[in-house]
Amino acid sequence: MSPSQQVLRRAERDVELHGVRIEAGQDVAIWHFSANRDERVFADANRFNIARTHNPHLALGSGPHYCLGASLDELCERVGSAVMIEPPVRLASTVISGCKHLRVRLLPS
């Protein structure tokens, strides 16, 4: 699941995208959880695969906004497993999908 659920943008010019006409000034919602499961881009799109090599996802950002969670592959190499200490506390947001608190204990391999 993407940490960012959606982003709102306004079209600067008329454009056609996959057969849909979007006119200049029209508001457009980009739904990351849908785009990141596009089977035209991702093989076996609905399967979580932390080792996916072709991974042009849309939700982790770039530059100073790059998601800290993008480095999970490095964590997985250094940690054997993780045990949840208590149930997660979900973040109440229509923009960000995530946890406010998620306490885990990391165990060596």
In a domain, 51, yes or no: yes
In a domain, 1, yes or no: no
**Greatest Cα pair distance in the chain:** 54
In a domain, 19, yes or no: yes
Number of domains in the chain: 1
The pLDDT value given to residue 2: 63
In a domain, 66, yes or no: yes
Q: What is the percentage of the chain residues whose pLDDT exceeds 70?
A: 85
Three-class SS of residue 59? coil
Q: How far apart are CA 55 and CA 73, in angstroms?
A: 13
Three-class SS of residue 106? strand
Top-confidence residue, 41 or 63: 41
In a domain, 76, yes or no: yes
For 51, the domain range is: 6-107
In a domain, 74, yes or no: yes
Q: How high does pLDDT run on average in the chain?
A: 83
Query: Cβ atoms within 10 A of the Cβ of 24, count?
Result: 10
Q: How far apart are CA 41 and CA 80, in angstroms?
A: 31
Q: Is the pTM of this model over 0.95?
A: no
In a domain, 96, yes or no: yes
- Residue-wise pLDDT tens digits, 76-106: 788 888 899 999 999 888 777 788 898 999 9
